[in-house]
Structure 1
Amino acid sequence: MGALHPILLFLALTGLTATISAHNITDILSGFPEYSVCNSYLSQTKVADDINSRQTITVLVLNNAAMSALAGKHPLSVIKKALSLLVLLDYYDPPKLHQISKGTTLTTTLYQTTGNAPGNLGFVNITDLQGGKVGFGSAAPGSKLDSSYTKSVKQIPYNVSVLEISSPIIAPGMLTAPAPSASDVNITAALEKAGCKTFASLITTNGVKKTFESAIEKGLTIFAPNDEAFKAPGVPDLSKLSNAEIVALLLYHARAGYTPLGTLKTTKDPLTTLATNGAGKYELTVTTAGDEVTLHTGVDSSRIADTVLDSTPLAIFTVGNVLLPTELFGKSPSPAPTPEPATATSPSPAPALAPTPKGEAPSPSTASPPAPPTETPGGSPSEAPSHDSQNSTTDNGAGHVKGSALVAVLVTVSATIISSFVLS
């Protein structure tokens, strides 16, 4: 019984780890109606997916009244920046807030990981103030501590902490900078700047660029191979593909809907693409290892290298390989070879057996062509035996030999018994 203890302990710890690391910020906040507006925007901007993909996180939430400073007054791309600045990449519960070394610290936020935060605008200043208060503000020089800790909402030690603060933390220029609409984004210019000139040229010359542009307003995600990817061994010769195949290949590198990196990390089901239609699935599957996200086609796979643009509702990523769909480049099983039709001059598939005289074992014929017709007792010619009839003949012959041997044994035994009786 004692031998089971380590196993039970391992299973218990494994289950506990799985329970602790699995969290869903949307589900957590759904039990608090006072954060319904904040919760809704976390989902709309996909910030919730990024929160759920991380193991250690602190989420600073705003109640519905405080969210009025953002909700409905700015485009989603701006609200996403503001909410990303409220996600701290470390665990802070109320006791830790009051135990900050030297009373103040700068902590990294989700906004910093996007690559869109210039300087130190992706950091937040946390300061333990006198009287038990804790202030929050942008880490930009000269910024004020415009927000303060209000109360604890939820803690799952030491993975997720949800704390309420009094107001948004606004980095300089975050709300005042003009935000271009999605339709104003120049896709080819962004791709060329990111080192994807070949892909940019292909989507332009094959008319796919217009398809991308018409899909942006409802959400679009692009996985663009860099220029080196088209020079790699194994990449098909595009000049040998039909125009329809090239278009399908290019559409396979994009999907409808805004799918940022955090959403990809939490994706379990296959992703449809713009190439998906009734004739083929054209899907991608996703695997994650830490912060590394890899796309799989069934033929090859590619790691997402960089984020070119992440601005709701458009996301553009670079990938290291050309994504090859199985519908175009998958190897189908080779069909079984069909037998050649029999002709008068073709050899017989198996050696024919000569007619077996009564009482003798059959001997294989040395002639490979089919045996000529033989006369039947009725005088009419009959066809040479087929392959099946040959097998039947062989089996009958073998049975005849076995039968003869058995008779010989019985005769010998009988003679021995008779001799013994006579002698006695």
Structure 2
Amino acid sequence: MSALRFIFLIATILTVMTVVTAHNITAILSEFPEYSEFNHYLSETKLDDEINSRETITVLVLNNGVVSSLAGKHPLSVIKGVLSLHILLDYYDNKKLHAISDGTTLSTTLFQTTGNAPGDVGFVNITDLKGGKVGFGSAVAGSKLDSTYTKSVKQIPYNISVLEINEPIIAPGILTAPAPSADVNITGLLEKAGCKTFVKLITETGVLKVYQLAAAKGLTVFAPNDEAFKAAGVPDLSQLSNAELVALLQYHALASYTPKGSLKTTKDPLSTLATNGAGKYDLTVETAGDSVTLDSGVGTSRVASTVLDSTPLCIFTVDNVLLPTELFGKSPSPAPSLSPDVSPASAPAPDVLSPEPAAAPSPFLSPPAPPTEAPAGGPAPSDGPTADSENSNANTNGVDGVRALTLTTLGLVATSVSVMISFVLC
């Protein structure tokens, strides 16, 4: 019995010691007004959500003057790409920068994960230039180390590190990336991604025009692939009224720019284009590592791939058709597979696009009311730039938080050990 108690208490101690320190880049940078512009654009591009969703990260910040100069010349989509190059998927502090093996290394950046980084464009070259200097530059062959490490801002070892550099890291071609326009060919992108059935439906019902109107301010689309419409359990869409079909298709989009990083940090239900007074028509998000799953209340669907992520438009493919409880509160009856060449029974599109007059008109079509039977839904070395930094105490602040957490953990461990000894001696 004593042995069993001992094992149980050891397990308890290990559980107590498993403490995860979360970070919030927006809150961290809010302590430093000289980085307010950088902080603003992290939020504007939703890169803050991506940073907060990762356990180990280094952010290379730029002061307000540098960011303002960059932002004044380029659209938001380009700014996002540039800032993504300043987010390293590894932990670097002052000590590690000056202890790089062989004096140089390549680090993967967040830009590399977008799928828009050919070759070495998504990597950053970090080189110890000695004499207390560390240079940063694109990893593309022939690129110069135009950026220099100036000081350490804040660290939560080995979770997040914020370092200042003096100039932006610019990879070849990143400033000439085309800006998104209001006439993005949504249907062309979706067809190429294997979503021809979905394209046919949104075109014939007029929902495509709703998407295009919403895209100017922010739009995220979850497009089921063609195989999703052939899956067992998918309802017979030809049995839906035109208004119900419109609601179903609007349910597959959000009236906001919500990239994958933002989805991973979402806690509350997401309103869709179908959301109105007649029903919630919302989605909940489940995450497991880098995987994101959407839950409609009737079933779930994995976010399979990113077709487009260019502020303010984001398009994903999903594995299953999203079925809202407002329309499918009961298990839907199986239906014949729907191919891209089969059109559901519906009224002409012009009738759908002519909503009834209302006191507060909306750019989105109004979905039907739900059926009545539906259920309710560390200090820097003296030779480093940080030695003269006015924010050198920032490191101490970050470490103090970890120390406090460590002391709390040690206290709990000590208590557990005392209890363990008492049990063993019994």
TM-score range, shorter chain: 0.7 to 0.9
Q: Does 1:225 align with 2:229?
A: no
> 1:37 maps to which residue?
37
Q: Which AA in structure 1 matches 2:306? A: T
CA deviation after TM superposition for structure 1 residue 175, in Å: 1.0
Q: How far apart in 1 are the matches of 2:311 and 2:90?
A: 25
> 1:185 maps to which residue?
184
> 1:298 maps to which residue?
297
Give the secondary-structure state (helix, strand or coil) at the position aligned to 2:208: helix
**CA offsets 1:329-385 (integer angstroms, 9 cap, x no match):** 1129999xxxxxxxxxxxxxxxxxxxxxxxxxxxxxxxxxxxxxxxxxxxxxxxxxx
Q: Which AA in structure 1 matches 2:303? A: I
Unmatched 5+ stretches in structure 2: 332-370, 374-426
Give the secondary-structure state (helix, strand or coil) at the position aligned to 1:70: helix
Q: How far apart in 1 are the matches of 2:60 and 2:166?
A: 10
> 2:316 maps to which residue?
317
CA deviation after TM superposition for structure 1 residue 320, in Å: 0.3
> 1:100 maps to which residue?
100
> 1:13 maps to which residue?
17
What are the residue-to-residue correspondences of 1:84-123 with 2, within 5 Å? 84-123=84-123
> 2:252 maps to which residue?
253
Give the secondary-structure state (helix, strand or coil) at the position aligned to 2:321: coil
CA deviation after TM superposition for structure 1 residue 83, in Å: 0.5
> 1:216 maps to which residue?
215
Query: Which TM-score applies when normalising by structure 1?
Result: 0.75
RMSD of aligned residue pairs (Cα, Å): 1.9
Q: How far apart in 1 are the matches of 2:372 and 2:317?
A: 35
- Check whether the contact 2:180–2:310 (CA below 8 A) recurs between aligned residues: no
Extract structure 1 runs of 4+ deviating beyond 6 A.
2-5, 332-335
Q: Does 1:70 align with 2:70?
A: yes
> 2:139 maps to which residue?
139
Q: How far apart in 2 are the matches of 1:27 and 1:154?
A: 12
> 1:361 maps to which residue?
none
Q: How far apart in 1 are the matches of 2:283 and 2:176?
A: 38
Q: Which AA in structure 2 matches 1:173? A: G
Q: How far apart in 1 are the matches of 2:9 and 2:31?
A: 38
**CA offsets 1:114-160 (integer angstroms, 9 cap, x no match):** 11112211111111113121100011111110101111011111110
Aligned residues: 330
> 1:176 maps to which residue?
176
Q: How far apart in 1 are the matches of 2:282 and 2:9?
A: 45
Q: Which AA in structure 2 matches 1:41? A: Y
Give the secondary-structure state (helix, strand or coil) at the position aligned to 1:326: coil
CA deviation after TM superposition for structure 1 residue 66, in Å: 1.8
CA deviation after TM superposition for structure 1 residue 173, in Å: 1.2
Query: Which TM-score applies when normalising by structure 2?
Result: 0.75
**CA offsets 1:153-209 (integer angstroms, 9 cap, x no match):** 11111110100011110111111333232x131100010011111101110010000
Report which of the two structures shows the higher radius of gyration computed on alpha carbons. 1
- Check whether the contact 2:180–2:311 (CA below 8 A) recurs between aligned residues: no
Q: How far apart in 1 are the matches of 2:168 and 2:88?
A: 14
Q: Which AA in structure 2 matches 1:9? A: I
What are the residue-to-residue correspondences of 1:24-423 with 2, within 5 Å? 24-181=24-181, 183-331=182-330
Unmatched 5+ stretches in structure 1: 336-424
